[in-house]
């Protein structure tokens, strides 16, 4: 497999020079070595070579738009349903059908118009300090806006897509007016101004800067698996909580992919997406990268087993993207910086 991260002109010439029947060209905003293992396994299994271009989601969307009908892109891979929605809205994806994918991936993890599919699950967890948080204080995301949490929460900024998608999901469930009131309460309960990434929120809880924080589950898993004793100590200091169904369930987002609008190797692209939803590929995502699989009943990594089960809300994750503009405006109105 060839990893391509260089100029647009050279990349296009190289990719177009490949035999269409033998390649699939991936534009990915995921930057994990485990993904390379999956790509190599796909090539070993099918004989189809994988060419890879990496960048941020917005960069790749803009790149494909600029390349136009001559774009060599077959597959776009990114994280968060909100970003997949942006790709769809930008016109860089095309709809496709796969009976296999429909049979193994839950319908709420597939775009209703079939422009993309979810490939792994990412749970927005409540990370808490067991020394300062009573068990009955842990309920749902909605309850974090209550007065008992005043000055106790750490959250990253509103420009983060993970938080935008959480707010978008609450808009879908509770309506915009109620969610704005909730967001204002949440902001009031911040222990500090939003800053840093998800790992920084976990560290802040461990350091006693706040009693609870929002973070995707795999950031804590990485700390548990770190070669750094200090990281592992941080992980051991905090607890992880997935809101149960009685409190609305856990907010589950995805890493997903779709077929590029002008894919020159469409059949290979479909085969690639179907391969990512096989047990072999799904187990690499979960055991090596600590993401939950979209397929049910598969083996999990030890740390995910320790995290326990979660009750997912049942809305289609496409709503995170559809409600994203409203979520951003709402967060701005309440002063969530």
Residue 309 lies in a domain: no
Q: Do residue 184 and residue 323 come from a single domain?
A: yes
Domain that holds residue 29: 2-121+253-300
Please report where in the chains the tokens 């500090």 appear, as a residue: 192
- Measure the CA–CA gap between 163 and 124, rounded to whole angstroms: 9
Q: Do residue 212 and residue 289 come from a single domain?
A: no
Q: Do residue 24 and residue 157 come from a single domain?
A: no
Q: Do residue 163 and residue 273 come from a single domain?
A: no
Show pLDDT as tens, one digit a residue, over the chain (337 residues).
334 433 343 344 344 444 446 999 999 999 888 999 999 999 999 999 999 999 999 999 999 999 999 999 999 999 999 999 999 999 999 999 999 999 999 999 999 999 999 999 999 999 999 999 998 999 999 999 999 999 999 999 999 999 999 999 999 999 999 999 999 999 999 999 999 999 999 999 999 999 999 999 999 999 999 999 999 999 999 999 999 999 999 999 999 999 999 999 999 999 999 999 999 999 999 998 999 999 988 889 999 999 999 998 779 999 999 999 999 999 999 999 9
Q: List residues bridging with 26 in a β-sheet.
A: 52, 75
pTM above 0.85, yes or no: yes
In contact, 313 and 173? CB cutoff 8 Å: yes
For residue 309, give every residue at least 6 positions away whose Cβ sits within 8 Å of its Cβ, in sequence order, or none: 242
In contact, 209 and 130? CB cutoff 8 Å: no
For residue 8, give every residue at least 6 positions away whose Cβ sits within 8 Å of its Cβ, in sequence order, or none: 63, 66, 67
Structural domain count of the chain: 2
Residue 174 lies in a domain: yes
CATH of the domain at 237: 3.40.190.10
In DSSP notation, 33-100 reads: HHHHHHHHHHHHHH--EEEEEE--HHHHHHHHHHHGGG----EEEEESHHHHHHHHHTT-EE----HH
């Amino acid at each position: 497999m060839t990893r391509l991260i260089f100029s647009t002109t050279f990349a296009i010439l190289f990719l177009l020079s490949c035999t269409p029947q033998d390649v699939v060209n991936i534009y990915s905003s995921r930057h994990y070595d485990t993904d390379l293992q999956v790509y190599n396994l796909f090539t070993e299994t099918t004989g189809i070579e994988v060419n890879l271009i990496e960048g941020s989601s917005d960069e790749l969307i803009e790149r494909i738009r600029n390349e136009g009908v001559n774009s060599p892109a077959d597959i776009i891979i990114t994280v968060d349903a909100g970003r997949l929605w942006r790709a769809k809205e930008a016109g860089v994806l095309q709809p496709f059908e796969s009976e296999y994918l429909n049979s193994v991936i839950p319908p709420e993890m597939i775009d209703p118009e079939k422009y993309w599919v979810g490939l792994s699950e990412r749970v927005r967890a409540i990370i808490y300090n067991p020394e300062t948080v009573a068990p009955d204080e842990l309920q749902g995301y909605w309850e974090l806006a209550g007065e008992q949490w005043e000055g106790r929460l750490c959250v990253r900024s509103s420009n983060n897509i993970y938080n935008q998608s959480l707010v978008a999901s609450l808009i879908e469930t509770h309506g915009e007016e109620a969610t704005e009131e909730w967001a204002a309460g949440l902001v009031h309960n911040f222990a500090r101004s939003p800053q840093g990434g998800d790992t920084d929120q976990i560290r802040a809880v461990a350091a006693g800067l706040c009693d609870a924080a929002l973070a995707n589950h795999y950031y804590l898993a990485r700390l548990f698996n770190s070669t750094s004793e200090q990281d592992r100590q941080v992980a051991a200091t905090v607890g992880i909580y997935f809101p149960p169904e009685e409190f609305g369930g856990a907010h589950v987002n995805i890493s997903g992919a779709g077929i590029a609008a002008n894919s020159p190797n469409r059949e290979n692209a479909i085969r690639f997406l179907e391969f990512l939803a096989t047990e072999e590929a799904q187990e690499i995502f979960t055991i090596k990268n600590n993401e939950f699989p979209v397929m049910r009943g598969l083996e999990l990594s030890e740390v995910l087993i320790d995290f326990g089960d979660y009750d997912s809300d049942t809305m289609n994750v496409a709503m995170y993207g559809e409600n994203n503009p409203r979520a951003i405006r709402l967060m701005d109105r309440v002063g969530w910086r």
